[in-house]
Homo-oligomer: A and B are copies of this chain.
Amino acid sequence: MPTIKDIAKAAGVSPASVSRVINNGPKVGAKTREKIKRIMREMQYQPNANAQAINVQNNASIGIVLADLTDPLFAKMAHGIEKIAVQKDLQIFLNSGAFDRTSELNAIEVLLEHRYKALVVHSAMIDDKTLIEYARKIPGLVLLNRHIREIENRCIWLDDKLGGALMADHIIEQGHKKIVVIGVDGIQNNTRQRLEGIKAQLAKYPVHYEIEMLEQGAATYEGGEIAVQNILARGMEFSAILAYNDAIAVGAVSMLKAHGLSVPSDVSVMGFNNLILAQCMKPKLTTIHNPIEDMAMKATELALRLSKGDSAEQLEFRPDEHKYIPELIVRQSVQKIG
């Protein structure tokens, strides 16, 4: 693999000139430039990005950490980030945390060791305190899909409380009084926020509601099946299920059917996120739209801006630009009762 020196020698010039050509720098004569280019092509020269990175401060690419590659929401985030990257002609380097605290931390560390300056981090398992420290230490770090008050100017998040409220409102309007919420465990506070939103909203109505919270492991189809099995096994009474996401909702519907309960005539079910899944389901899933792709784009732009030197504090902080609004999507999985 030829180095810059080999090229220089072959072209009869100095390494400095070759470097200038590589970087499209000025101060190289036209014919010299052409000659060097030709030789580079002939010798199949390939710059060594590591050597370049060691010299220049600035690693322009964007480093991203995603909690879980298997989450379908991931695809949307990745897509949003990618859009910005393509638009600005930047590279993205993705590291996955596999939904595990240690891996997530490791993913961040690796990116830091490679001296990425703009970091979009979607962490589900790292605690607030640690993330705050990171944020303080790394100017270009932005948290996607997470809200930590102390560093909220560095966060892009969904108004989960509102999301919960929207769910509650809809389900109340349809006359439901015995409600089961299926959340997920882990550090993620989306679950808690939404539950708060749900409860707060219920409290506004002058009726007594029974609400059960069920936190179980996986935010997946299988997770939804298991959750419903548990609910049924416990003999709970309920007419509605509010699921943490669409996949859980779909799994729940399937397990309900397996037990002879049909949706929405026997049980109403709501999902969250409004992924494709929700609209191909039968019955089509009533859910909450999550503008995660927009959020990802915003987070990327922010990370890029911050990494360019504008400190977060200098940027005026407008909460409405950081907090995104969920929306109720009414379809067919909720039915009016009593």
Q: Which A residues contact B (CB, under 8 angstroms)?
A: 44, 46-51, 53-54, 69-72, 74-76, 78-79, 82, 86, 91-96, 98, 103, 109-110, 112-115, 137, 221, 247, 250-251, 253-254, 276-277, 279-282
Q: A51-B54, A112-B46 are in contact. Are A75 and B69 (CB under 8 A)?
A: yes
**Structural contact, B50 and A54, CB atoms closer than 8 A:** yes
Q: A115 and B69 in contact (CB under 8 A), knowing A247-B276, A280-B254?
A: no
Distance (whole angstroms) from the CB of A241 to the closest CB of chain B: 15
Residue of B nearest to A253 (CB): B280
In whole angstroms, what is the CA distance A63 to B250 when docked? 35
**Contacts A50-B50, A221-B280, A280-B250: A86 and B113 contacting too (C-beta < 8 A)?**
no
Residues of B with C-beta under 8 A to A137: 44
Known: A86-B98, A92-B96. 19 other contacts (CB 8 A): A48-B113, A48-B115, A50-B54, A50-B115, A54-B54, A69-B75, A69-B78, A70-B75, A70-B79, A71-B75, A72-B75, A82-B96, A93-B93, A94-B94, A94-B95, A94-B96, A281-B281, A281-B282, A282-B282
Contact A113 B46 (CB under 8 A): yes
Residues of B within 8 A of A113 (CB): 46-49
Smallest CB separation, A242 vs chain B (Å): 18
| Bound-complex Cα distance A79 to B86 (A) | 24
- Complex-state Cα separation, A98 to B78, whole angstroms: 10
26 CB < 8 A contacts A-B: A44-B137, A46-B109, A46-B113, A48-B113, A48-B115, A49-B113, A49-B115, A50-B53, A50-B115, A54-B54, A69-B78, A69-B79, A69-B82, A70-B76, A70-B78, A70-B79, A72-B72, A91-B95, A94-B95, A221-B276, A253-B280, A276-B277, A277-B280, A280-B281, A281-B281, A282-B282
